[in-house]
Amino acid sequence: MPASETPYAELHVTSNFTFLTGASQPDELAAHAATLGHRAIAITDRNTLAGIVRAHVAAKQSGIQLIVGCCVELCEPTPQSVLVYPTDRAAYGRLCQLLTLGKRRAQKGECRLALHDLIEHAEGLLAVVIPPKIIDDGFIDVLLGLNRIFTNDRLSLAAARTYTQNDTQRLHQIAAVAEHTAVPMVATNNVHYHIPERRQLQDVLTCIRHGCTIEQAGFRLHAHAERHLKPPSEMARLFAEYPSAIARTVEIATRAAGFSLDQLRYEYPDEIVPKGTTPMDHLIELTWAGAAGRYPFGVTDNVRAQIEHELRLIDDLRYAPYFLTVHDLVRFAVSRGILCQGRGAAANSAVCYCLGITAVDPDRVNVLFERFISKERDEPPDIDIDFEHERREEVIQYIYGKYGRDRAALTAEVISYRGRSAIRDVGKAMGLSLDLVDQLAKELDWWNDNPDNVQRLKSLGLNPNDPHLARVMSLARQLMGFPRHLSQHVGGFVITRTPLCELVPIENAAMDNRTVIEWDKDDIDALGMLKVDCLGLGMLTCIRKCFALVDQHEGKSFTLATIPAEDPDTYDMICKADTVGVFQIESRAQMSMLPRLRPRCYYDLVIEVAIVRPGPIQGDMVHPYLRRRNNKEPIVYVSPEIEKVLGRTLGVPLFQEQAMSLAVVAAGFTPGEADQLRRAMAAWKRSGKEIFRFERKLIDGMLARGHTAEFANQVFTQISGFSGYGFPESHAASFALLVYASCWLKRHHPAAFAAALINSQPMGFYQPAQIIRDAQEHGVEVRPVDVNFSAWDCTLQPTANGPAIRLGMRMVGGLPKVEAERVIGAVAQHGRALSVASLRRRGAVRASALRLLAEADAFGSMGLTRQRALWEVQALKDGDAPLFDGLDESGVDHGGMDNVLSLPSIPAHTEVSHDYHAVGLSLKAHPISFLREQLAAVGITVNAALTDEARTPRGTRISVAGIVLVRQRPGTASGIVFMTLEDETGIANLIVRPQVFERFRRAARHSRMIVCEGTIERAGEVVHVLARSIRGIDAPGAEVPAMSRDFH
């Protein structure tokens, strides 16, 4: 019988969102069911709807009906699985409520539901009961009970071929039960994967779930590969004796068609609008009020026209509530003194500037609001708000407080298997030793099938043709991209007017006080729901702290908007790449670009932020841009439309928006198609291939419009280069503002900036040691941690030559804040402490805290060296109640201060090494300086010599040494590793080719101090040493802790 003549719908499908059980993606299942000619397909994951949106999108594309469903596992009174399918919007809401109920009362990732819970939410749901292995009277009672609840013929009894010996009997038995209870029987195939070839992967998943190897798994594995989607004709053959069971599937599918995810209508919350006014009126009022504040000398006609235009567009699209929601969060943050800054598509509008969402003056960037909100794309505009990272939690709790936990929740983030995690889990399941699995995970490049892997396998002593190993590799590759668990998105909030739990199930997050919905941002996007991203940004914390320090010590108060704009001194500093610690343009790659790009205005910074990204680099846009900027290449535009798109960036597309506009202008894409292109670019990492769907269309479109094939290919290369890494202009504009602010602070208030930067750690690219060193080079005095002078944070102390930085106790490794505060409190109350014992008595400080302070050499003001201080502290016991310490005035201090002690002397390099271990830096000397004599003796140059072109011209052979600060292997540099070395005179930038890296792997990968021999390369002010050999010089007794940021 041809497939089309046997209508069948698969109703029991476990996708890989039932983690470590299903072995196919929801979209694979939906697409394959469509190919096989199923009438419909349900996705019924265990106690979750997490994969349903993806299935919905895929089903729509392949033109098959998706039945929204879920396999509800009841644990009381007896374990029982029931498949449920909502028939209308209300029933779907009840299903979400049911799952939320079960999840909220269980731990993260679990769900506890009882039979009576299901009964309470049964209205409007179709149910299919899955019979247990042994059908007994208890089960029949449950079935009869459910039958009374699921009235109106809504209950069915599932029957599946198990391919065991007694299949026929079992089907008979189920049929008999169905007859006896008057619950119709329905055929399913209990699908776990879309094609039988996935059985191996499913077996491996079972092993991962049970934590066993494939050899040990035994009966936990399925005996056969029959749990795949079968053609309707085959299902009809298998249930030839029960045709009504096949017909029942279609009946259920038809009734379940009453609900589709398309019916979910998102509704904005309404409390952001005061009573008696509409959101739009309120927004207009707020905008003009804000405009008056932003433009104290009156709003220019230009700006007025812009604002009016934007407001009209917002009104047309009814986005006013969205802007009001964002504005409300910003207003809250400002009222608490939390620094924040909006970015993203809609953020850089005049309206947002007036509302205080962004500090980017629309006059300074050429914003076309339609680029960010288009009428064709009927989806909410995108605004992310960055808050100070240390205070973001306050904002999050404000959202929960304002809208309630039933209406606001974080979106989920689907954590998927990536190369390393996949090979780890598959390798373990396949019985490889932990050791080998580790090696494979570390050594191999899992992102692509590159031939390098074969070489690497050989170098590990493995045979790449070994069938077992080949199987492991192919299974790991299949597993990549599978969801592993749900986590919470960093800050994406969904806020609704009606209870959220009627829209999507909510579960507890791993973190206390957090609730998370089951869908991730793509799902939310696909359904057109509002999401506000509240992200944490360390630089905002730093800038706020810096403002506070400047205010406190110099009496000048600034905000992001009042920092003097376009300051030439600041740009001079940027052009010299003197940007350690500032926002974004501090990385090695950015710093080598700065002298070439020479930014002189705000928009140059926008470009600088966006250009050093894998997208523009892979699309080969950097060099053409630089050539044109330096007038070495003429700027030509193929057509005036293209000039309009690319004019700002000298004809080279640098931003994601430009890529999209280019597709519209040059290839005749509709804005909707351009948006699909954008999605394909974003999904690059996940699927990898999608972008090529657009290749033909784009190139044909461009040829049809009279462009040359060469130009068309070039544009496509550029666009595909953006995939996954493209940087939108809207984000770059917001970032550039912070770049400028941080640079300005660094230029004009270096001490405050360095102190604020350290007080906001951990963040950014550099360790405190480098920040302090940089501050010292800018003439800032830095004073060590001291119990009598330091606060918890780094502070500024006035001196004749401007403020000096006093390092704070937060630098002391492992010191708890409460203990530090006791010390600070004791000093504040009783004045300067003169001995360790008195400090301990006055402040009730724990001996362990004093020990940490002693290790940090923080007793200098008492005249104690680190060694003496430690000796004193070692006599104190933590167990002693300080109360009795106070009574015992004589103290336990036998080895007291005035005893003549003959402690061995400690060499200076050891002191420095101890400084590094305890505080992360040393103000005494640079570790390399102790080796300098030996290094000089073998002809090793100081790094400072590199800046002197006369001494070290291009091509000179040179040897340099230093502590490794950074190791980077950018994905765009074909395996080249960039390393930065620091010695007492400066830094040296190394370029290490893969062959050299492999040859000197041990030193190159692990050593903390190295000597590198190589040739000098110069390009303008940028100096590199092209490494030829690398040698570790980790001297005993002078070890420094690992301080480099490796491969991030």
Partner 1 sequence: MYLPTWASDLATRRSRLDRTHAVLLSHLDHQREAVGSCCAVALRAGVHPGMTLTHARALLPPNRTHVEPLDVEGNARSLRRFGAWMIRFVPTLAVDPPDGLWLDATGCERLYGGLDRLINRMQRAVKRLGIATGLAAAPTWGAAWAIARFGSGPAVNLDPNVLQSTLAPLPIAALRIDETTQAKLHRVGIERIRHLLDLPRTSLADRYGDELLMRLDQALGQAVESIVPIRPRAPIVAERLFDGPTDQTETIQLVARELLVQVAALLAARQCGCRVLELTLLRSDLDPLILTVQTARPTCDGRHLWTLARPKVESAHLGFGVEGVRAQARAMARLSHEQHTAWEEDRQATPTDVLGRLVDTLVARLGTDRVLRIAPVESHRPERSFEFERVASIDHKPRAGTIPAPSLIDADRPSLLLPRPIRIDATFLVPDGPIARLDIRRDSQRIIASIGPERIEGEWWRGASRARDYFKVQTESGRCLWVYREVGTGRDQVREQWFMHGEWA
DSSP letter at 793 equals S
Helix axis angle, 750-759 to 768-777, nearest 10°: 170
The minimum distance between CB 802 and partner 1, in angstroms, equals 37
User: Based on CB atoms, which residue is closest to partner 1, 334 or 434?
Assistant: 434
Residue 935 C-beta: closest distance to partner 1, Å:
22
Token look-up 């119990």 returns 787
Q: Give me the least distance between CB of 456 and partner 1, in Å please.
A: 12
Instruction: Output the CA angle 592-595-600, nearest 5 degrees.
Output: 130
Q: How far is the CB of 678 from partner 1 (least distance, A)?
A: 39
Neighbours of 900 (CB within 10 A): 4
Residue 346 or 996: which CB sits closer to partner 1? 996
Q: How much helix, strand and coil, in percent to the nearest 5, is found in the chain?
A: 50, 15, 40
Q: Which residues pair with 978 in a beta bridge?
A: 968, 991
Q: Provide, rounded to whole angstroms, the least separation between the CB of residue 874 and partner 1.
A: 4
When the beta carbons of 136 and 933 are compared against partner 1, the nearer one is: 136
Cis omega before residue 86 (within 30°)? no
Q: Are strands 957-968 and 987-992 parallel, antiparallel or unpaired?
A: unpaired
Minimum distance from residue 139 beta carbon to partner 1 (Å): 19
Question: Reduced to 3 states, what is the DSSP secondary structure of residue 126?
Answer: strand
Q: Whole-number minimum distance, CB 214 to partner 1, in Å?
A: 5
Nearest CA among 128, 149, 132 for reference residue 140: 132
The C-alpha atoms of residue 1012 and residue 1004 are separated, in whole angstroms, by 9
**Closer CB to partner 1, 437 or 833, in the complex:** 437
Q: Which is nearer to partner 1, 182 or 901 (CB)?
A: 901
Closest to partner 1 by CB, 709 or 903: 903
Q: Which of 426, 737 has the CB closer to partner 1? A: 426
Indicate the SS3 state at residue 462.
Answer: coil
Give dist(CA 714, CA 1014) in Å, integer.
36
Smallest separation (angstroms) from partner 1 to the CB of 612:
33
Own/partner pairs, 95-101, CB within 8 angstroms, 24+ separation: 95/49, 95/70, 95/121, 95/125, 96/49, 96/501, 96/502, 96/503, 96/504, 96/505, 97/121, 97/501, 97/502, 98/72, 99/47, 99/48, 99/49, 99/70, 99/72, 99/505, 100/501, 100/505, 100/506, 100/507
DSSP 630: T
Cβ nearer to partner 1, comparing 371 with 868: 868
* 793 phi-psi bin (left φ>0, alpha ψ -120 to 50, beta other): beta
Q: Which residues pair with 982 in a beta bridge?
A: 963, 987
Closest distance to partner 1 from the beta carbon of 167 (Å): 8
Taking the CA atoms of 116, 119, 120 and 126 in sequence, report the sign of the dihedral they define: positive
Taking the C-alpha atoms of residue 198 and residue 177, their distance in angstroms, rounded to an integer, is: 33
Q: What is the largest CA-CA distance in the chain?
A: 104
Q: Which residues bind partner 1 (CB under 8 A)?
A: 163-168, 196-197, 199-200, 203, 212, 214-219, 221-226, 237, 430, 433-435, 438-439, 442, 460-461, 467-468, 471, 855, 867, 870-871, 874-875, 892, 894-895, 899, 901-906, 910, 1001-1002
Q: Which is nearer to partner 1, 426 or 677 (CB)?
A: 426
Secondary structure element (H or E) that encloses residue 413, with its range: strand 408-416
Q: Which C-beta is closer to partner 1: that of 596 or that of 917?
A: 917
State the minimum distance, in angstroms, from the CB of residue 1002 to partner 1: 7
CB of 820 to partner 1, least distance (A): 20
Q: Which is nearer to partner 1, 402 or 1005 (CB)?
A: 1005
- How many alpha carbons fall within 13 Å on the CB side of residue 997? 16
Between CA 164 and CA 514 the distance in angstroms is 46
| CB-nearer residue toward partner 1: 104 or 210 | 210
In the complex, the smallest distance separating the C-beta of residue 158 from partner 1, rounded to whole angstroms, is: 20
CB of 208 to partner 1, least distance (A): 14
| CB 435, min distance to partner 1, A | 5
- Cα separation, 508 vs 932, in Å, equals 57
CA 303 to chain centroid, in Å, comes to 36
For partner 1, the closer CB: 787 or 1016: 787
806-823 burial, b if ≥16 CB within 10 A, otherwise e? Answer: bbbbbbbeebeeebbbbb
The full DSSP string for 233-289 is HHHHHHTTT-HHHHHHHHHHHHHHTT--GGG------STTS-TTS-HHHHHHHHHHH
Q: How many residues does the chain have?
A: 1048
Nearer to partner 1 among residue 313 and residue 1033 (C-beta): 1033
- 240's tokens: 């030839």
| Alpha carbon distance 852, 873 (integer Å) | 9
What is the smallest separation between the CB atom of 1004 and partner 1, expressed in angstroms? 13
Residue number, 127 or 856, with CB nearest to partner 1: 856
Given the complex with partner 1, which of 470 and 601 has the nearer CB atom? 470
Nearer to partner 1, 335 or 902 (CB): 902
- Judged by CB, which is closer to partner 1: 216, or 277? 216
Residue 275, φ and ψ in degrees, nearest 5: -60, 140
CB of 471 to partner 1, least distance (A): 7
Least Å distance, CB 636 to partner 1, is: 54
Q: Which residues pair with 502 in a beta bridge?
A: none
Could you tell me the smallest distance in angstroms from the CB atom of residue 511 to partner 1?
24
DSSP conformation class of 928: G
The H or E element containing residue 71 is: strand 65-74
